[in-house]
Amino acid sequence: MNKDIQLIINTIKICSIKIKHIIEKGDTTKSDSQNSTGDTQLKLDIQSDIVIQNELSKLKCVRSIVSEEQDEIININQNATYNIAYDPLDGSSLVDVNLSVGSIYGIYQYSYSGKNIVGAVYVVFGPRVEMVVAIDKQVKLYRLLDHSFEYIQDIHLQTKGNILAPGSTQAMWYPHHKQMIDDFFTDGYRLRYSGGMVPDLHQILLKGGGLFSYPATKDLTKGKLRQLFEVFPFALVFKFAGGDAIDGEHKLLDINTTHIHDTTACFFGSLQEIKKVYEVWS
């Protein structure tokens, strides 16, 4: 790993310890503002965003940053290499019921697009704080022990798993999607869906495989999850872990981004499950 990426990861560790304190002690109520996607921001979203913006802005190797909670790209150093897109607190509406949440970071070279993502990091804030780093074709798990993140293990998916995380509003599913999900359950898959994509995907990665879906639906024809902040980072994690990630027809990392807040349908899983998704959706 090059030293600039190492520095970015070390900075993410610093942010994560600060965000852990914000989650533990912060006010879980709504703010008066909305983000670009139209979600009402929680005070926790805004506070976490400020922490990350302040810390990443100090780095000479960062060209620009863009957050799910900001309308525009923030330029940092014109001659630097790395652009970082992040979701400071994914699943923030779950903090008041004390379910797990996460932060997601995508590290992009040249420009913000799936083709240019070179690294991804996510942090799970659950009973434990864990960080997963996908870089150089490897996926590594670290855990916060006392005050530092310690290496735990590499993450590899099996070719087939047995858990299913089917997102979105079921009343809006297309019939072929409903049939596909029913077929997985008939085949013995078990439901594991918390409503936070970070812990839901983390579970699939650590339990060997399965399928997370957030499809195109009758009301949201481009899904809900955001390409730069949520989808591409996890697509890279699943690719490097030996799984795959598609929008139904195309590899997620091949799709075009026309606007920083673009969303897409997405499926992340081990190879056999993704093959079935492709057969049903393409």
Residue 195 makes contact with ligand AHG by CB under 6 A: yes
- Measured CA to CA in angstroms, residue 132 lies from 5, 113, 187, 199, 201 at distances of 14, 21, 30, 11, 11
Question: Shortest CA distance to 85 belongs to which of 190, 215, 187, 235?
Answer: 235
Site size toward ligand AHG (CB under 6 A) is: 12
Q: Which of residues 44-103 bind ligand AHG (CB under 6 A)?
A: 87, 90-93
Q: Which residues contact 191 (CB under 8 A, 6 or more apart)?
A: 163, 164, 165, 166, 185
72: left (phi over 0), alpha (psi -120 to 50) or beta: beta
One residue of 106, 196, 223, 269 binding ligand AHG per CB under 6 A? 196
Q: Do 210 and 267 touch, CB atoms closer than 8 A?
A: no
Residue 167 makes contact with ligand AHG by CB under 6 A: yes
Residue 55 makes contact with Mn ion by CB under 5 A: no
Name the residue nearer to ligand AHG (CB basis): 1 or 172.
Answer: 172
One residue of 49, 55, 90, 247 binding Mn ion per CB under 5 A? 90
Name the residue nearer to ligand AHG (CB basis): 193 or 278.
Answer: 193
Structure token digits, residue 176:
């072929």
Q: Which of residues 206-245 bind ligand AHG (CB under 6 A)?
A: 224
Interaction site with ligand AHG (CB under 6 A): 39, 87, 90-93, 167-168, 195-197, 224
Interaction site with Mn ion (CB under 5 A): 68, 87, 90
